[in-house]
Amino acid sequence: MDDLKTKYENLKPDSSEDKIEKTVESLVRRQYMPFLILEVKDFFHMTRERMQAEYKRVMALSPDSEELKNVVGIDDAEDVKTKHLTALLNQYTLLCGLRENSPESWDTVNELYEDD
The predicted structure's pLDDT at residue 114: 66
The predicted structure's pLDDT at residue 1: 74
The predicted structure's pLDDT at residue 2: 86
Q: What is the pLDDT of residues 30-44, one digit of tens each?
A: 899 999 999 999 999
The predicted structure's pLDDT at residue 115: 53
Contact 63, 69 (CB under 8 A): no
- On average, the pLDDT of the chain sits at 94
Contact 62, 108 (CB under 8 A): no
In order along its 116 residues, the chain shows pLDDT tens digits of 789 999 999 999 999 999 999 999 999 998 999 999 999 999 999 999 999 999 999 999 999 999 999 999 999 999 999 999 999 999 999 999 999 999 999 999 888 766 55
CB neighbours of 85 closer than 8 A, spacing ≥ 6? Answer: 4, 8, 54, 55, 58, 59
